[in-house]
Amino acid sequence: MAKIRLNALVLVTTAVGAVVAAPAAIPWGLLGWTLLGTAASAASASMFNQLLERRRDALMRRTASRPLPQRQIGPLPVFVLACALAYAGWAVLLWKTGWIPAALATGNVLIYALLYTPLKPLTSLNTLVGAVCGAVPPMVGWTAVTGSVDSGAWVVAGILFVWQLPHFMALAWMYREDYGRGGFVMLPARDPSGSLTAQTMLLTSLTLVPMALLATLYGLAGLVFALCATVLGLWLSWESFRFLRERSDAMARRVFLVSIVYLPLLLLVMVLDRGPVSPAAGVRLRGVIDGGGGVLPPSPPTEPRVPTTAADSAQSP
């Protein structure tokens, strides 16, 4: 019910957002509370989604074995547990990290359950809404550490948003008949030739290259990251181009598998090569900015924010 594998990715991206926001010293305690609250919120969203889609899930081979379609559990207990988890996630994040991470995580639950899920049988644009939901977790991690939605948070979220499009299009192409049986309006299910699907996959794969390079431009990561991001983005773009030329399940699977390799490698290099968080750091090469030589001095490290609890406020004069 909690979609463990999907939400494991949610927690990884949340952690990356927090770690990249605090390059000098990782706030392990704060990170732990952030992951706990995010996990509760993500599990809640998954449960609401399955609750609303239980009848359509019963029609699809890849989802028919879920507990709700199999009547292994009733809708009421799932609804109560989903509500409890949503409240727990909001409460933990509000208590330990602040109102911005709590609002982002809880808002994401509402968007996933009340907007993304109802749109899936209506329009293929639901994929864009779903990608928004997938882009929010690193912003939760970032704001838990910094207390604000800085430019760096938007950069990491933007990478996640764009990555989901070729990744999901490849998956949806492989299961296009299954999505059709369930009545879900996914682009590959409504694109018999696959031409538009392939073009979308190639365009979004290519977009990942400049999007990822923004992390270096804004001082989140260094030149090693820029090189790796370029190579990985071009690799994914090449596989998407191959799918454009040969629109088959085998080629779609290659794009899907490469996208799975792309993201963890990109995030790992971003964490290992993380740099100044402040956008004022700009491009690291001085010559790009003012024609001078050498390398820009690093900006002072951003100190992790210490959240203020109600108890702390009560002790203040």
The pTM of this model reads 0.85
pLDDT greater than 60 at residue 7 = yes
128-146 pLDDT tens trace: 999 999 999 999 999 999 9
Please tell me what DSSP assigns to residue 188: G
Mean pLDDT across 206-233: 94
pLDDT greater than 80 at residue 307 = no
With beta carbons less than 8 A apart as the criterion, state whether 189 and 171 touch.
no
Please tell me what DSSP assigns to residue 24: S
* Of 69-78, 238-247, 250-259, the least confident: 69-78
Residue ranges of domains in the chain = 1-146, 150-285
Mark out the alpha helices in 219-248 (DSSP H runs): 223-245
What was the pLDDT predicted at 310?
Answer: 43
Proportion of the chain above pLDDT 90, given as a percent? 77
Enter the tokens of residue 151.
């430019």
What was the pLDDT predicted at 276?
Answer: 55
Mean pLDDT across 267-290: 60
With beta carbons less than 8 A apart as the criterion, state whether 261 and 267 touch.
no
Sequence-distant (6+) residues with CB within 8 A of 51 are: 68, 75, 78, 79, 82
With beta carbons less than 8 A apart as the criterion, state whether 158 and 213 touch.
no
Name the nearest CA neighbour of 171 among 253, 227, 244: 253
What was the pLDDT predicted at 299?
Answer: 41
42-56 pLDDT tens trace: 999 999 999 999 999
158-209 pLDDT tens trace: 999 999 999 999 999 999 999 999 999 999 989 999 999 999 999 999 999 9
What mean pLDDT, rounded, does the chain reach? 88
Report d(CA 262, CA 209) in Å as an integer.
Answer: 12
Mean pLDDT across 80-89: 97
Domain 150-285 has CATH 1.20.120: yes
Mean pLDDT across 80-105: 97
Domain made up of 1-146: CATH architecture: Orthogonal Bundle (1.10)
* Of 19-33, 176-190, 227-241, the least confident: 19-33
